[in-house]
Structure 1
Amino acid sequence: MINSLLMVVQAKILLVEDDEDDYILTRSHLDELPAFECKLTWVTNLTEGLQKLAEGNFDICLLDYQLGAETGLALLKQAIDTGISTPIIMLTGQPDKQLDLQALEYGAADFLVKGELGDARFARAIRYALSRREFELERLNRLRLEADNRSKDRFLAHLSHELRTPLSSILGYTELLLESDSAVDARPELNIILNNGKHLLSLLNDILDLSKITADKLELRLEPTNLRHLLLDIYTLLKVTATDNGLELTIRSMAALPELITVDGTRLRQILINLIYNAIKFTDTGSITVDIWTEQVEDREQLVFQITDTGVGIPAAQLDDIFAPFTQIEDFLTRKKGGAGLGLAISAELIQRMGGQIKVDSEVGKGSIFTFSIDPGNIANIPRRQLSLEQPASFSNSRQNKLALEGTVLIVDDLPDLQKLTGYWVQSAGASVEYAKDGAEALAMIKQKMTANSYYDLIFMDLHMPGIDGRETTIAIRKMGYQYPIVALTAAMAKGVRQQLTAIGFNDVLAKPVTKHLLYRMLRQHLAGGTSTAENNNIADTPLHFLVVEDDLEAAELMQILLESLGVKTTLAHSAEHCMRELALSQHFDRILLDLGLPDCDGAQLVRRIEQSYPDNIIIVVSGNEYAVPVSASNIVQQSLLKPISKQALSRLVSMCR
C-alpha cells in the first residue's frame, strides 16, 4: 500500500453517489491530494454499492447520505451487519450534528460535509480510514491464523487419539504375551513388535512436539536433576538396542561432573535418546561413545555432550540441512532406514531453548560427531564426581515391585480390547474388575451400587465414547453425590486438559497408551492392601526413609528426633528448592512430610512439581489449617497431618508404611 520511494499512499476508493456533478467534484479533490494516489470506482445506487463492497476490493468507501428516495444509512447498516470491514466515510450536503452522531453510531469511520472535500480535513479523514482499514485487515488475519491454529490443534488432538488408542492395544498385549508362558517360542518376534510399536509412539510424540515448537507452546520445566541417574536411565535403555545391533555403547565423563543440574530432565533425556539412537541406527559396525564434560563460556559453565559413532557419515554438502524438519539423513545415502526426520530438528530446537547450541562434524564412511551444550544452571558450588554407571541397589524398589491390592474397579471404555487389557492388569494387582461399554451403562451400574449402599473403589473413565462421553458421564456421577475416585483415560493430553478435567470432577488423568507402571501407580494410590508376606519380611529388614520439608528449623529437628526414635531414617529440607534437590539425589522416599507454608513456593504448586517429576512418591501434607489442601487435590497426596504433630500420630503413620 505504501510506496517506500515516493511515500505516496495508494488507495482503491469506492464512491456511492447519484449526482454526476458531485462525482466529478469528488474525483477532482482526490486527484489534488498530494500524498495519495487514488483509484476511484463510481456507482450510483445502494444495490451496486453493497455488491461492490461485498467483493472486498476497496480500501475506503465514500458514501453519499442522500441517494434518491433512500439514505446512505441503509447501506451503512447492511454493510456492518454483513461483516464488511471496509471503512465508510459518510458525505452530506449540509452539516447535521444529529446525522453525524447517527452515522458514527451505525459504524461509519467519519462524517464529512461535501464542502470540506477541499480542506485538509478530507486528507486526514482518508488517512485515518486507510489506517483503520490496515488495522482491520491485520485483525482479520490474526483471527484467521488463530482459527487455523485451533483447527490444527483439533486435528492433532484427534490424530493423537486415533493413533494412541490402537497403540495401547499393540503395546499392552505384546507386553502381556512376553510376561506369560504361552508364547515362549515367539518372544523374538514379540520383541520386534514391541520395539516397533514404541518407535511408532516416539514418532507420534515427535510430531506433536514439533507442532508445539512451531506454535511456540512448548514450555520447559526446570528442576534440580540428578545427572548420574538420568545418564544411567538412558544407558540402561539404549545399551540393549546397541548390543542387539552388534555395537558397543559407552558413556563416560572427561572430568568430574556436578551431581545436580537445573534443567528440564525430560527434554534433556529426549535429546540424548534422539542423538544416541540416531547414531545406533546409522552405524553398522563399531561403537557409539558419549563423552561429557563442563567448559567455561563467558561468565558461567556449560555442560557439553559429544556423541561419536563409527557409522556411515554425512556428506559435507548436507550438514547444514540435517537439523531442518522432515529432512532424513538417509535420503542422501540410502533408503534402508526409517524415520520421519523430526528427531534432529526437535533436538536442535530444544538445545537452543536450553541455552546451548549443537554442531556436527562428519566424514562419509568414517562416522559422525555430534556436539551440543546446555545451560545446567548455577553449578559453581555443586559437589562433583566421576561418572559411574553401575546399577545401585535400591531398597525402595522392593516396596513397589509386587502388588496385592483389594477393592473393586469399574472400567468404562467402548473398546473391548482395551477393556480386557486394563482389566487384566488390575486383576493381576489383586483387585476385582467390572466393565461398562459406555457412559449410560456406567451410570446405571453406579446407581445400582448406590441403591445397595455400595460403591466402586476406583473408576477408570475413557473420555471418548459414543453417546454420553466420559466428561458428561463424570459430571452426572458427581451430581448423584458419588464421592469416590474417578480417573480419566485420554490420548489428548494438551496443555490445560488436566486442570479442565479436575474442575469437572476427575481425580486424575492417565494418558494413552496406558502403561502397566502408570496404572499400578494409580492403583496403589486408591486401593487398599499391601505387598506379599515374603516382601513384608524383606521390607522389615530395611529402614524407612522419610523426607521432612519444613522451613521452621526447630519444628523440623523435633520431627526428625521423633521419627528417628521410631526407627525411621530422616532427611530434612527447609525450602521447596531444597526439597527438589533432595528428590533429585534420592529419587524416592517412603513418605514426604510436606509443610504447606514454605517461603519460596506455594504448597499446592510444590505438590504438582513433585507429582510431575517424581510421581512414585507419596506426600503427607503438614499444615496448621485443616482445609489447606484436600487429599483429592493430587494423586500423590495420601493424607494430612495437623500441627502440632504428636509422636502418636507419627507412630500411626510409620505403622501404615510398614
Structure 2
Amino acid sequence: MTAPEQALPKAARLLLVEDDEDDYILTSGYLQELPSYCFEIVWADSPQQALTRLSEESFDICLLDFQLGAENGLSVLTQAQQQGLSTPIIMLTGQADDALDLAALQAGATDFLVKHELGSPRFQRAIRYALARKEIEQERVERLKAEDGSRAKDRFLAHLSHEIRTPLTSILGYTELLLESDYAEQAETELGIILSNGKHLLSLLNDVLDLSKLSANRLELKIAPVHLDSFIADVFSLLKIMALDKGLSFSVVGLQALPLIIHTDATRLRQVLINITYNAIKFTEQGSVQVEVWTEQNNHQELLHFSVTDTGVGIADDQIERIFQPFEQLQDVVTRTEGGAGLGLAISAELVAHMGGEIQVASELNVGSKFTLSINPGDIKDSERAELRFERSPLRNRQTLKPCLHGKVLVVDDIDEIRRLTGHLIQSTGAEVAYASNGQEVVTLFEQNPQDIDLVLMDLHMPVLDGRSALKQLRRQGWAVPVVAVTAATQKGLHRQLTELGFNDILPKPINKPSLYRALAQYLRPAEAFAPVQKKVLLVEDDPDTRLLMDMLLTDLGLSVDCVGSALDCLQKLEADSEYDGLLMDMGLPDMPGAKLIKLVHSVCPALPICIVSGSELTTEQLTEYGAQAYLLKPVSRDDLASLLNKF
C-alpha cells in the first residue's frame, strides 16, 4: 500500500501594503515559508494604491503596515470599511502598543501583529485564521445568493402560475358551462376538444411547477378514490385519436379483471400515463402502440401496472438514463423532428416514485420501446373486480350532480371575470352571491353590514389588502363566518398553514365544479325548504339570431323566458300577462322607437324593471330620461346577463 499523497498547498492572493522595500522582501520571504499556502503577493506602497487595488481586484487577505510615510494604516482601514470592502486585513506594527492594537480592531482589522513576530507560530495562526474567515464569508455570501435565487424563483413561479391560471379559469369554466347547455349538443365534440386542449395547456404550466416542487420536496399527493375503468377510458380516448391521426394501431388491454376502485392521485397518474403514451405515439411512424394494464403481488402489496409498447424508433442502451434527466429531450436522443419541453419523463419518474412504484424501460434501436410503470393503488385486496368496459365519464349532463342550496356567498377576487364565473357556478345551485374585489372591501362590508353572508370564497393574492390579512382582521373582529381560501398555489404544507391561520378550507385554481359544489354543500343549507320561484322575463328583440342566443343564455341562468320580435307583440304580451319580473328590450325595433315603447310599457306595468339592450353606451341621465333601470351593451354575453340579474 502506498503512502497517502501530501495535500497540495492552498493558493491565496495577498496584498502586502508596505512602503519599505526591505520590509516587503522580508515579509514576502516569511509568507513563502508557510507550508500550507502558496501565495501570489501583490505589493502596494501607499494608502491610495492600497485602496485602489482593494476596490478593483480580488484578494484573499491583506497585510497592512501601520506607518505609511506621513499617513497611517488606520485611514486605509476606515475607508475600506466605508466602501464595504470585505478582504480580511491584518495590521503590522513596529512595536507593541495596546492602544494602537485596540484602534486597529475597532477600525475593522482582523488581527494585528508586531513585525518581529513575522515567521513565528502566532504569525502563521493569524494568517490561517484570516483566510479561514474569508472562506467562511465567501460560503455565507454564496449561500445567501443561492437562497435569494431560490426565493426569486419561487416568487416568479407563483406569479407565473397566477397569471396563466387566471385566463385558463375562464377558458375551462365557460367551456364546461357550454357543455351543460342543451343548445350545445351539436358542438359537443368541438367543445370537448377546447376543454381537452385547455387542460393540456394547464398541464404544461404544471410541468414547470412540478419540477420545482419535486426538486424542493414540496410535492403533495392528493389520494382519493378513483373509478379505474372510467379513468382509463377518459385518459386514453384522446390519445387514441392522436394515434389514429398518424395511421397507427392503438389498443388498451386489461390482462385480467381489474379493481373497480383504486386509491391514488388521479391527476398525477393521468399526467404520467399521458406523458409516456404521448411519447410512444410521437416517436412511432408506423405500426402500433399498445397499453396493457394488470395487477401483481409484490411482497405484501399488490401493485397496479401499466405498460406502453410501441414499434417506434427505439432508444440506444447508452441513452436510456438520459431520457429521465430534466431538459434532456427525447428527440435529442433519437430524432430532431419533434418538439417538446424535455420535462415529461423526468417528472413522470419522480411522480411514480412518489406513488410507491417505479418506471422501467426496455428498448431496441429501430425496433421499438416498452415503458412499464407501477404504482401503489391502495388496499385493493377486497375490492370488487371486473373486465375493462371503457365506460367514459359523460361530458354533458353533469348538472345532475349539482346541489340545490340556500344561502349567500361572498366571492372575493380582484379579477372581474373570475368573480363572475365563480358567481355563475354558485348561482346555478340556487344560492345568492355578493362580490368584492379585495380584502379591504370584505373588512368594510362586515364592519358596516354583514348582509347575512353564510360563506366567503377568498382569493389570497389581491391588491389593497390580501386574503390572509383580510382573514386576520375578520377573526380579530370576532366574525366566525366560514372562509375558504382560493389559490393557485399548491406547495406542500399550504393547507395546514392556511387552516392554522383561520381558513376553513382551500379551493385550488382553476376552480372545478365538483370541488366547488362540495365546498358549498358543506357550508350552505339544502334548498328543500326554500323552493325558489322561477323568475320570468320578457325579451323584445327583432333580430332572430340575437333573440335565440339571449333566450339560450337567460334560460341557462335559470329564468323562464318569453320572446317577441316587435313592440306591438310586446304590448300584447304584457296586456295578456303582466306577471313578468323584468323586461329586456332592443331600442331599434322596426315598428316603434324604443323610447315610445318604454312609455307605453309603463302605462301597462308601472313597476316592471326595464333593461335596454343597446348598440351604444348610455349615460345615467339617458337611462333616467328613458325610464329604464339598466342597459346592456351589445354584443351581450352570459356574464353581462348574470351580472344584471345579480344586480336586480
TM-score, normalised by the number of residues in structure 2: 0.68
Deviations 1:185-225 (A, max 9, x none): 322221111111000111111111112233x32456697x8
Displacement after TM superposition at 1:369 (Å):
1.0
Measured in 1, the distance between the counterparts of 2:192 and 2:338 equals 19
Deviations 1:628-648 (A, max 9, x none): xxxxxxxxxxxxxxxxxxxxx
C-alpha contact (below 8 Å) 1:275/1:307 kept by paired residues: no
Deviations 1:585-611 (A, max 9, x none): xxxxxxxxxxxxxxxxxxxxxxxxxxx
**Corresponding position: 1:95 with 2:96:** yes
Question: AA paired with 2:308?
Answer: T
Q: Name the stretch that deviates more: 352-361 or 411-420.
A: 352-361
Report what 1:462 is aligned to. 459
C-alpha contact (below 8 Å) 1:251/1:291 kept by paired residues: yes
* 2:509 corresponds to which of 512, 515, 524: 512
Q: In 2 relative to 1, CA 179–278 (structure 1 residues): closer, same or farther, beyond 3 Å?
A: farther
Measured in 2, the distance between the counterparts of 1:476 and 1:256 equals 52
**Corresponding position: 1:167 with 2:168:** yes
Displacement after TM superposition at 1:19 (Å):
3.7
Measured in 2, the distance between the counterparts of 1:495 and 1:256 equals 32
**Corresponding position: 1:493 with 2:490:** yes
Identity %: 49
Question: AA paired with 1:181?
Answer: D
- Secondary structure at 2:55 match in 1: helix
Measured in 1, the distance between the counterparts of 2:102 and 2:510 equals 62
Displacement after TM superposition at 1:404 (Å):
1.1
Deviations 1:311-366 (A, max 9, x none): 53434375444323234445677788664232111112334566754332345776
Report what 1:411 is aligned to. 411
Report what 2:341 is aligned to. 340
Measured in 2, the distance between the counterparts of 1:418 and 1:81 equals 52
Question: AA paired with 2:188?
Answer: R
Q: Name the stretch that deviates more: 424-433 or 276-285.
A: 276-285
Deviations 1:558-602 (A, max 9, x none): xxxxxxxxxxxxxxxxxxxxxxxxxxxxxxxxxxxxxxxxxxxxx
Q: Name the stretch that deviates more: 246-255 or 55-64.
A: 246-255
**Corresponding position: 1:140 with 2:141:** yes
Question: AA paired with 1:414?
Answer: D
TM-score, normalised by the number of residues in structure 1: 0.68
C-alpha contact (below 8 Å) 1:403/1:429 kept by paired residues: yes
C-alpha contact (below 8 Å) 2:210/2:219 kept by paired residues: no
* The structure with more radius of gyration: 2
Q: In 2 relative to 1, CA 308–495 (structure 1 residues): closer, same or farther, beyond 3 Å?
A: closer
Report what 1:552 is aligned to. none
Q: In 2 relative to 1, CA 372–62 (structure 1 residues): closer, same or farther, beyond 3 Å?
A: same
Measured in 1, the distance between the counterparts of 2:74 and 2:180 equals 78
Measured in 2, the distance between the counterparts of 1:353 and 1:521 equals 27
Measured in 2, the distance between the counterparts of 1:436 and 1:24 equals 77
Q: In 2 relative to 1, CA 422–137 (structure 1 residues): closer, same or farther, beyond 3 Å?
A: same
Question: AA paired with 1:124?
Answer: R
After TM superposition, the structure 1 = structure 2 runs for residues 167-566 of structure 1, keeping only pairs within 5 Å, are: 167-214=168-215, 216-219=216-219, 229=226, 231-232=228-229, 234-242=231-239, 244-245=241-242, 249-252=251-254, 267-268=268-269, 270-279=271-280, 286=288, 288-294=290-296, 303=303, 305-316=305-316, 319-329=320-330, 339-352=340-353, 357-362=358-363, 367-373=368-374, 388-389=387-388, 401-450=401-450, 454-529=451-526
C-alpha contact (below 8 Å) 2:64/2:90 kept by paired residues: yes
- Secondary structure at 2:511 match in 1: coil
Deviations 1:391-420 (A, max 9, x none): 99xxxxx99923111111122223222122
Report what 2:10 is aligned to. 9
Q: In 2 relative to 1, CA 72–258 (structure 1 residues): closer, same or farther, beyond 3 Å?
A: farther
Measured in 1, the distance between the counterparts of 2:259 and 2:420 equals 47
Measured in 1, the distance between the counterparts of 2:257 and 2:229 equals 17
Q: In 2 relative to 1, CA 516–532 (structure 1 residues): closer, same or farther, beyond 3 Å?
A: farther
Q: In 2 relative to 1, CA 281–487 (structure 1 residues): closer, same or farther, beyond 3 Å?
A: farther
C-alpha contact (below 8 Å) 1:288/1:308 kept by paired residues: yes
C-alpha contact (below 8 Å) 1:267/1:350 kept by paired residues: yes
TM-align CA RMSD? 4.0
Measured in 2, the distance between the counterparts of 1:384 and 1:415 equals 45
C-alpha contact (below 8 Å) 2:275/2:344 kept by paired residues: yes
Deviations 1:413-436 (A, max 9, x none): 232221221111000111011222
Deviations 1:251-289 (A, max 9, x none): 53569999989x877655543443345445666775532
User: Can you give the 5+ residue segments of structure 1 that lack an aligned partner in the other structure?
Assistant: 393-397, 535-658
